[in-house]
Chain A
Amino acid sequence: MNIDWQTLKRAQIDWRMVLMSTVLVVIAVVFNVLSEGIFLSPENLYNIAQQTAVVGILATVMVLIIVARHIDLSVGSVMGFVGVLIAFLIYSANWSWQAACLMGLAAAIAVSMYQGALTAFVGVPSFVVTLGGLMSFRGAAYLVADGKTQPLADPFFLKLGGGYNGGIGTTASWILAALLCCGLLLAMLNKRRAKKIYGVPTNPAWVDLVLVLIPVAIVLAFVATMNAYHIPNKDAPQGVPIPVLIWGAVALVISFLVHRTRFGRYIFAIGGNPDAAALVGIPVRRVTMLLFVLLSVLITIAAIVAISRLNAGTNSLGNNLELLVIAATVIGGTALAGGSGTIIGSVLGALIMQCIDSGMLLLDVSIGTRYIIIGQVLIAAVVFDVAYRKWTGDTL
């Protein structure tokens, strides 16, 4: 037993993630008991997965922004602006949805270039730039369509937000799960091989196997659950909802950027110590600018999912969303001081928050109590974060 403990300690296991996942499971089980089995029903889990997607998509990139010692308070407003713009072009200007989305992307990039340039080149703190943006782009969201709601009806476009036809079906879901599981397994084998080549000690095979089987099990359980959700008046079950698929793809791509590209390493280097990063020749300004452009792409994706899910663009779209996104990021263990954070953490953070919110809705907890609890969860998460960093000897 003692030996096992030593191996586990030496194995590269992210204990923070393990703990967070445990917290998530505990929350789910508690709500499930209190709601007499409704919380863990396929329908509710399908709901939660969809409800979390928009916040989750934005939280993945917010991690990078905060890691680089910046903040973006304007995500909600810019998403509202881009969303209404796309809906306006489709509904009022009769554009095709593809063209409208491209235009939305162009607008988002323009916004980010503006905010990014002010931050990176003029040196205005991003807090101030985006605080201004928070107000300005809420106004812009209003002006685009003069405050009028822009309904959407294109059947394909509406799939992007989930909804009635928004699942990919059971077969496609299983194929996807199989691919993902193979990917996880291959990645593990590759890592072991690489470690051997460079003479780095590897984990015992069984530890690695367990480490890969856990995510495999989660993927399979998730797909099984989504495939179990069957809207009563439809012929076939839903399968994985498209917005969740988009969220997953976004998380994978951003993770890839973080772990496998120079851009990702630069961001963490800048966040760790901006002066040192500049001195070793990292183009801090260019990287910051690129980061803002990446943000704009994800804001556009989130905007598309959000308006498609609501079947309309409204000028209140994304109101207060920045708070949820930042909260999800922080609950996910990203240090507000910059320099550290993980994408998978943001996914868990967003899920924890949405589970608590939706769970309390199921239990008819009043809106005031709901806000108090979510606020305190945020604080509890940061307290845990501080304690964890002290324990592991990380600097704050």
Chain B
Amino acid sequence: MKLKRHLSALAIAMAAGSSFAQLVVGVSYDAFQEERWKTDEAAIKAELAKAGAKYIMSDAGASTEKQLSDIDGLIAKGAKVLIILGRDKDAILPAVNKAAQQKIPVIAYDRLFEAPGVTYITFDNKEVGRMTARAILAVKPKGNYAIIKGDPGDANANFLREGQGEVLADAIKKGDVKIVGEEFTAGWNPQNAQKNMEQILTKTGNKVDAVVAQNDGMAGGVVAALTAKGLQGIPVSGQDGDLAALNRVALGTQTVSVWKNSADLGTAAAKAAVELGAGKPVTGAADWAGGEKKMTLKSIFLKPIPVTKDNLDVVLKSGHISKEALCKGVDASKVAVCK
């Protein structure tokens, strides 16, 4: 079976070389230097290679303007499908429209931008928010909560907050949970998160029972702030499956890290790109209109995994983290996976 697929891929590739043009998929990253995109790229490349398509990429180096010319460049190089990790959901639109005029399908990868015909593939960020809050609520159903939000300019921070709000709404109404502090964190920077947490602790006289933080980096800052007051061990959430955070989960200083296996996202996007390139509809895509402009887009939402002390084996088995990194400083008798 596998051999057959390889052969057919080979055949497609050869056919592409001779008669048809080989499908070229262009990927525009906004800032490739961030750690996680390497995982995405590897998955996209592997999936495209399987289908016999060619992978070309560009990196905008965190510049909105450069990304526009990058996309022109990808089209000029013959990209027939574009996967775009948009730097700015509005500034990217001229480039997306240009692609649409040339009948080039566009996939909004991980981050949303709304334009007609765009396919949006991402992890369900609201669900990530729900998962972080759910995990905290499970271990601390009553008490004072602090919420450490991400950068105010990032739409994901609001999606996450919405999801967190949904889960906490009932408990807040009943009076079980009280939100005693809530801050945005410039640039998702752990140092800023630490400062925010210190000020919340001071403001409330250390009466904080749980912290819902929106990512692992900031959770690190929060735990540092808590540790400095001898409060480490109260429930703290995060997301990203950062290695340091998973280690904290094993140590017991962080409750949950919602893990989005970005290899899954890359694979899904590459599959969709191949289907779009062949003029077919994308398998598993459904209509969704939950964005700011309420535009109906074909979307795929992948489910993240909340990693807690009880299912640490997931990240270990997938090869995301080594046992050594996961269990550093952990009392092996207390954590099953570290035995």
Contacts and interface: CB of A to CB of B under 8 A. Distances in A.
Interface of A: 35, 38, 41, 43-44, 47, 51, 139, 142, 146-151, 153, 162-164, 166, 231-234, 306, 309-312, 314-320, 357-358, 361-362, 364, 366-368, 371
Given A317-B191, A361-B195, A43 B183 contact: no
Contacts of A146: 35
Contacts of A364: 181
A162 B227 CA distance: 11
A150 B191 contact: no
Interface in B298-333: 328-329
A319 B244 contact: no
A141 to B, nearest CB: 10
Interface string B219-232: 01101100111100
Nearest to A91: B328
Nearest to A162: B228
19 contacts: A44-B199, A51-B195, A146-B35, A148-B244, A149-B245, A151-B328, A163-B228, A166-B228, A231-B230, A232-B206, A315-B35, A317-B191, A318-B191, A320-B187, A358-B195, A362-B199, A367-B186, A368-B152, A371-B186
B64 interface: no
A224 to B, nearest CB: 19
Contacts of B34: 142, 147
Contact of B202 (A43, A231, A306, A314): A43
Interface in B158-213: 181, 183-184, 186-191, 194-196, 198-199, 202-203, 206
B189 A316 contact: yes
B221 A233 contact: no
A151 B184 CA distance: 23
CB-CB nearest 7 A-B residue pairs: A147-B35, A149-B244, A361-B199, A163-B228, A311-B224, A367-B184, A151-B244
Nearest to B240: A149
Interface of B: 33-36, 152, 181, 183-184, 186-191, 194-196, 198-199, 202-203, 206, 216-217, 220-221, 223-224, 227-230, 242-245, 247-248, 328-329
Given A163-B228, A368-B152, A312 B190 contact: yes
Contacts of A361: 183, 195-196, 199
Given A51-B198, A362-B203, A311 B227 contact: yes
B202 A151 contact: no
B224 A310 contact: yes
A142 B33 contact: yes
Contact of A149 (B184, B217, B227, B229): B217
A43 B204 CA distance: 11
Contact of B329 (A41, A142, A153, A316): A153
Contacts of B228: 162-164, 166
Contacts of A162: 228
Contacts of A163: 224, 227-228
Contacts of A357: 195
B202 A47 contact: yes
B202 A362 contact: yes
A362 B183 CA distance: 10
Contacts of A231: 229-230
Contacts of B220: 149, 151, 310-312, 314
A357 B186 CA distance: 13
Contacts of A314: 190, 217, 220
A123 to B, nearest CB: 28
A163 to B, nearest CB: 4
Contacts of B36: 147
B interface secondary structure, majority: helix
B204 to A, nearest CB: 10
A153 B232 CA distance: 14
A284 to B, nearest CB: 36
A37 to B, nearest CB: 11
B230 to A, nearest CB: 5
A118 B202 CA distance: 46
A38 B203 contact: yes
A361 B182 CA distance: 10
A151 B232 CA distance: 15
Contacts of A43: 202
Contact of B187 (A151, A232, A319, A368): A319
A246 B230 CA distance: 23
B35 A148 contact: yes
B183 A164 contact: no
B33 A150 contact: no
Contacts of B152: 367-368
Contacts of A311: 220, 223-224, 227
B252 to A, nearest CB: 14
A22 to B, nearest CB: 25
Given A153-B329, A316-B187, A358-B199, 9 more contacts: A47-B202, A142-B34, A147-B33, A147-B36, A231-B230, A306-B191, A358-B195, A362-B202, A368-B152
Contacts of A234: 230
A243 B179 CA distance: 32
A13 B67 CA distance: 56
A147 to B, nearest CB: 3
Nearest to A148: B243
Contacts of A38: 202-203
B244 A44 contact: no
A43 to B, nearest CB: 5
A141 B217 CA distance: 15
Nearest to A361: B199
Contacts of B223: 311
Nearest to A54: B191
A316 B186 contact: no
Contact of B242 (A148, A232, A316, A318): A148
A163 B221 CA distance: 12
A151 B198 contact: no
Contacts of B188: 316
B180 to A, nearest CB: 11
B301 to A, nearest CB: 26
Nearest to B248: A151
A142 B210 CA distance: 31
